[in-house]
């Protein structure tokens, strides 16, 4: 709605402009003129050199003097100069006389601004200053201008009346404004009083907060002191406990040192004993073998004959516990090895040796004195290890030679009493087929093999 | 943001740009001041209109041409004997703002939309001859005349009216600010 009204107004303006444009050419042609000179920031148009007298006389009182100086002398008046010109006006001088004084002063002549119609009026004003003649001239001028003066007097009277009326209205407005201001001052006083009360209340509150904070600060200081004391005590206790623990550790360290020494002695004694036992066993075994009149050699040959299929050239055979056996195997072309330094009773050594043999790599595994071997490894564990290292179709020869068993028994070792029949049953449970081979001296052995699947 | 919105945003920045004080003092006189923008086709219309102003409205009027490289317009003014009244503003933003602040109106006879948006942003009324770019930029915030109208007298009379009619100037200024806001933030404007 508002937009429509605006558009209507704009359309109306357009119509008026069209009408003005239609009559534009009918207006009198203006005389060519230079572009309007620019006024400086102080309102002085320095480049302007001509004025109409009305331009200079129109402004009232102060503005007249200011404007006259700026137009005719191209500068602002000093306070003294402005005051002198206002005094002149106050003594009844005309504005044209003031303008003439400025224009034809030495400075005014040097600036040389032109004011159309000023010169005759100024001369007439100056003529009025000549004694007697001036009086006559002014009288004549005043007489000639009596109708005009009367009109101006009436206009002045009307203006003064209007001014009085406006002044009265202004005074009333000022009084009303003063009432409002007084009311506002009262309001402000009331507000200031309330603000003062609020300020006092705020100060009281702040003081209470301050006291509370101080009390809390004191309590906090006390708590901190107490905390510091407790910390000090705790540090003392901790130091004592630390010293106690340090002493305990020292004692335990000494105790462990003594224990280590005792264990070393035990280990050394055990080593000596083992060495003695091994030496005794070896000597005993050798003595028994030497005394058997070649029976053991014949026994080994008998077992070797049984093992012959597994002793082809290049076959790998591992023997546990009898170097003589290896020599005989090698003579038949087999690659015969034994676990070097492995005594039948050395359990961990035998286990490690078996664990290091590759899977399915042996043509045969031989233990000529199987009962003595049981001191080192249980039968089922040995059979499992043998199953792992034997090739498919590999042979297991487990003899019951009595010399190592006898030697071990003489050395004080307890050798389990195992019968061939019991061992055959054990091997059968593990999937082996067995055949008993009795040597010439009656010493039995079991030849075992797994049926290939 | 489309091209017009970018121009409006740039013109919005001109609102906070300081004007060249020396130029502003020089151009702010009691006489009529036109800021103007024109293309080659609009140049004769502009000069005809300004000549009509000098002849019938204000013999001391001044024409400030905003387009950079408006020497052709000045040369044409010279051939008409009014070159003393015509001045090129140059392309500095502070000079352009001084010209728009000093001017009673921006007179557009062809040319781009940028000066129209600058004038709307600064609050200078816009008048001139209708063309697509000017109408796109000014919308309903300018007093534009169809090319078929007797443009010279209409433009001279429009500037004279704008110079004399403060309420009209205020209405156009309000529309100009609203127009700039709508263009610079199209998503917020009503459909």
Tell me which of B26, B58, B60 to substitute to probe the interface with A (most A C-beta atoms closer than 10 Å). B60
Task: State pLDDT tens for residues A94-131.
Answer: 888 999 999 999 888 888 888 888 988 898 888 888 88
Q: What is the pLDDT of residue A234?
A: 95
Residues in chain A: 453
Q: What is the pLDDT of residue A2?
A: 56
Q: What percent of chain A has pLDDT over 70?
A: 91
pLDDT band at A21 (very low <50, low <70, confident <90, very high): confident
Whether residues B28 and A14 touch (CB distance < 8 A) is answered with no
Closest approach of A57 to chain B, Cα-based (Å): 18
pLDDT band at A423 (very low <50, low <70, confident <90, very high): very high
Contacts of A36 in chain B (CB under 8 A): 29-31, 60-62
Q: What is the pLDDT of residue A207?
A: 95
As for the ipTM of the complex, it is 0.89
Task: State pLDDT tens for residues A193-233.
Answer: 999 999 999 999 999 999 999 999 999 999 999 999 999 99
**Half-sphere exposure of A438 toward its Cβ, with a 13 Å CA cutoff?**
5
Contacts of B26 in chain A (CB under 8 A): 38
**C-alpha to C-alpha distance for A49 and A45, rounded to whole angstroms:** 9
Lowest mean pLDDT across A22-36, A136-150, B88-102 = A22-36
Whether residues A24 and B57 touch (CB distance < 8 A) is answered with yes
Whether residues A17 and B30 touch (CB distance < 8 A) is answered with no
Higher-confidence residue: A355 or A258? A258
For all residues of chain A together, what is the average pLDDT? 84
Contacts of A33 in chain B (CB under 8 A): 59-60
Is pLDDT at A166 greater than 60 in this prediction?
Answer: yes
Is pLDDT at A16 greater than 80 in this prediction?
Answer: yes
Strands A444-450 and A390-399: antiparallel
Q: What is the pLDDT of residue A238?
A: 94
| Contact call for residues B58 and B27 (beta carbons, < 8 A) | no
- The residue behind tokens 């905390």 is A227
| A423-443 burial: b if 16+ Cβ within 10 Å, else e | bbebbeebebebeebebeeeb
A263 close contact with B: CB closer than 8 A: no
pLDDT (average), residues A399-420 = 83
Task: State pLDDT tens for residues B132-173.
Answer: 888 888 888 999 998 777 678 899 999 999 998 888 998 999
Q: What percent of chain B has pLDDT over 90?
A: 23
Higher-confidence residue: B72 or A311? B72
Residue B116 vs residues B16, B47, B141: alpha-carbon distances, Å: 17, 19, 10
pLDDT band at A37 (very low <50, low <70, confident <90, very high): low
Q: Is A26 exposed, middle or buried (0-12, 13-18, 19+ CB in 10 A)?
A: exposed
Task: State pLDDT tens for residues A337-392.
Answer: 766 444 444 556 778 888 888 898 888 898 888 888 888 888 889 999 999 999 88
Residue A14 vs residues A296, B36, B145: alpha-carbon distances, Å: 146, 20, 9
Query: Which two three-digit tokens encode residue A46?
Result: 């320095």
For all residues of chain B together, what is the average pLDDT? 84
- Identify the closest residue of chain A to B161 by CA–CA distance: A17
Q: What is the pLDDT of residue A236?
A: 94
Q: What is the pLDDT of residue A198?
A: 94
| Contact call for residues A324 and A299 (beta carbons, < 8 A) | no
- Domains of chain B (ranges; CATH) run 3-185 (3.40.50.2000)
Number of A–B residue contacts, CB under 8 Å: 82
SS3 state at B95: helix
Can you state the percent helix, strand and coil of chain B, rounding each to 5? 55, 15, 30
Which A-chain residues 22-81 have CB contacts (< 8 A) with chain B? 22, 24-25, 27-41
Whether residues A35 and B62 touch (CB distance < 8 A) is answered with yes
Instruction: Give which of B120, B121, B138, B118 is closest to B129, Cα–Cα.
Output: B138
Q: What is the pLDDT of residue A36?
A: 62
Q: What percent of chain A has pLDDT over 90?
A: 31
Contacts of A10 in chain B (CB under 8 A): 140, 143, 171
Instruction: Give which of B14, B180, B169 is closest to B97, Cα–Cα.
Output: B14
Q: What is the pLDDT of residue A341?
A: 44
Instruction: Give which of B126, B179, B152 is closest to B50, Cα–Cα.
Output: B152
Whether residues A20 and B161 touch (CB distance < 8 A) is answered with yes
Closest approach of B70 to chain A, Cα-based (Å): 19
A16 close contact with B: CB closer than 8 A: yes
- Identify the closest residue of chain B to A23 by CA–CA distance: B153
Q: What is the pLDDT of residue A344?
A: 46
Whether residues A13 and B161 touch (CB distance < 8 A) is answered with yes
pLDDT (average), residues A84-93 = 88
Q: What is the pLDDT of residue A4?
A: 66
pLDDT (average), residues B88-95 = 85
- Identify the closest residue of chain A to B85 by CA–CA distance: A35
Q: What is the pLDDT of residue B191?
A: 34
Across the interface, of B57, B60, B143, the residue whose CB is closest to A14 is B143
Query: Which two three-digit tokens encode residue A196?
Result: 């003062």
SS3 state at A396: strand
Backbone angles phi, psi at A420, to 5 degrees: -55, -40
Q: What is the pLDDT of residue B156?
A: 93
Task: State pLDDT tens for residues A103-113.
Answer: 999 888 888 88
Closest approach of A31 to chain B, Cα-based (Å): 7
Query: Which two three-digit tokens encode residue A382?
Result: 């040995």
For the ranges A261-265, A403-407, B59-63, the maximum mean pLDDT occurs at: A261-265
Contacts of B62 in chain A (CB under 8 A): 35-36
Whether residues B55 and A30 touch (CB distance < 8 A) is answered with yes
pLDDT (average), residues A250-256 = 94
Task: State pLDDT tens for residues A137-163.
Answer: 888 888 888 888 888 788 778 878 877
């Amino acid at each position: 709605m508002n937009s429509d009204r605006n558009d209507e107004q704009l359309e109306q303006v357009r119509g008026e402009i069209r009408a003005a444009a239609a009559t534009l050419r009918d207006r009198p042609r203006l005389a060519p003129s230079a572009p309007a000179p620019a006024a400086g920031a102080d309102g002085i148009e320095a480049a302007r050199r001509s004025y109409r007298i009305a331009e200079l006389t129109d402004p009232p009182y102060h503005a007249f003097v200011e404007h006259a100086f700026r137009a005719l002398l191209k500068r602002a008046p000093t306070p003294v100069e402005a005051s002198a010109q206002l005094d002149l006006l106050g003594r009844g001088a005309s504005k044209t006389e003031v303008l003439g004084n400025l224009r034809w002063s030495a400075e005014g002549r040097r600036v040389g601004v032109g004011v159309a119609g000023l010169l005759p009026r100024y001369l007439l004003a100056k003529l009025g200053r000549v004694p007697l003649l001036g009086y006559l001239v002014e009288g004549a001028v005043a007489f000639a201008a009596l109708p005009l003066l009367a009109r101006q007097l009436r206009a002045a009277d009307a203006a003064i009346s209007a001014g009085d009326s406006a002044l009265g209205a202004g005074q009333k407005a000022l009084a009303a404004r003063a009432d409002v201001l007084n009311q506002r001052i009262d309001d402000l006083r009331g507000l200031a009083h309330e603000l003062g009360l609020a300020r006092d209340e705020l100060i009281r509150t702040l003081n209470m907060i301050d006291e509370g904070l101080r009390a809390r600060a004191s309590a906090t200081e006390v708590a901190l002191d107490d905390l510091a004391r407790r910390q000090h005590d705790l540090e003392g206790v901790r130091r004592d406990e630390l010293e106690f623990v340090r002493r305990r550790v020292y004692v335990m360290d000494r105790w462990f040192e003594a224990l280590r020494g005792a264990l070393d002695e035990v280990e050394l004694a055990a080593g000596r004993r083992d060495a003695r036992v091994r030496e005794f066993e070896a000597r005993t075994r050798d003595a028994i073998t030497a005394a058997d009149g070649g029976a053991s050699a014949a026994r080994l040959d008998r077992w070797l004959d049984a093992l012959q299929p597994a002793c082809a050239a290049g076959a790998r055979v591992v023997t546990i516990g009898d170097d003589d056996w290896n020599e005989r195997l090698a003579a038949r072309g087999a690659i015969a090895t034994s676990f070097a330094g492995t005594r039948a009773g050395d359990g961990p050594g035998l286990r490690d040796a078996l664990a290091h043999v590759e899977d399915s790599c042996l043509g045969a595994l031989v233990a000529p004195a199987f009962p003595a071997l049981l001191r080192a490894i249980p039968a089922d564990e040995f059979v499992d290890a043998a199953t792992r290292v034997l090739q498919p179709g590999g042979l297991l020869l487990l003899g019951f030679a009595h010399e190592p068993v006898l030697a071990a028994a003489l050395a004080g070792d307890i050798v389990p009493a195992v019968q061939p029949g019991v061992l055959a049953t054990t091997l059968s449970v593990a999937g082996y087929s067995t055949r008993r081979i009795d040597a010439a001296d009656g010493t039995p052995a079991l030849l075992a093999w797994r049926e290939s699947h | 943001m489309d091209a017009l919105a970018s121009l409006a945003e740039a013109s919005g920045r001109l609102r906070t740009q300081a004007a060249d004080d020396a130029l502003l003092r020089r151009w702010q006189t009691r006489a009529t001041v036109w800021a103007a923008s024109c293309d080659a086709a609009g140049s004769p219309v502009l000069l005809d209109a300004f000549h009509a102003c000098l002849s019938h409205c204000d013999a001391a009027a001044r024409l400030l041409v905003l387009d950079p490289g408006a020497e052709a317009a000045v040369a044409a003014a010279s051939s008409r004997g009014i070159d003393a009244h015509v001045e090129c503003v140059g392309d500095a933003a502070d000079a352009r703002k001084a010209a728009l602040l000093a001017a009673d109106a921006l007179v557009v006879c062809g040319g781009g939309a940028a000066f129209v948006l600058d004038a709307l942003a600064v609050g200078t009324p816009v008048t001139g001859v209708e063309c697509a770019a000017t109408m796109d930029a000014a919308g309903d915030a300018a007093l534009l005349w169809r090319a078929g109208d007797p443009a010279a007298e209409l433009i001279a009379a429009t500037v004279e009216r704008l110079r004399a009619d403060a309420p009209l100037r205020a209405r156009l200024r309000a529309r100009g600010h609203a127009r700039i806001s709508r263009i610079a933030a199209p998503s917020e404007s009503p459909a």
